[in-house]
Structure 1
Amino acid sequence: MYFTDRGIEELEKRRGDEEVTLAWLSERLQEFTDIHPEFETAVERFATWLARLDDPDD
């Protein structure tokens, strides 16, 4: 198990029944990078990956 799996599992356990919009998620990611700029590259890559999930060219 990767260390990050624990955070993902906690997220699912605590908030797994909630529904959110992508706009809400985008706002939270922006807030996170404002507070933790050292993670900007990782968040940017994650957001780009999510945005392109169904793009056959990527």
Structure 2
Amino acid sequence: MPQLVRQANSLLSSDHNLITPDRWPADFAELEINDEVRSLVMKDDAARLLRLHQD
């Protein structure tokens, strides 16, 4: 967790003006991430973070 906070306060926070909402999914699609992790990042983790539970 400390590493995530450190990155959010430095590198990640500086990208918010550079990476547009249209560009982010395209760049993410090019990463070598297995499908299970990709699903977690793009859907499951986001839904949990936003408290969008499917009951």
| Larger helix percent | 1
**Whose RCO is larger (CA < 8 A, sep 6+)?**
1
Q: Taking structure 2 as the reference length, what is the TM-score of the superposition?
A: 0.50
Q: Taking structure 1 as the reference length, what is the TM-score of the superposition?
A: 0.49
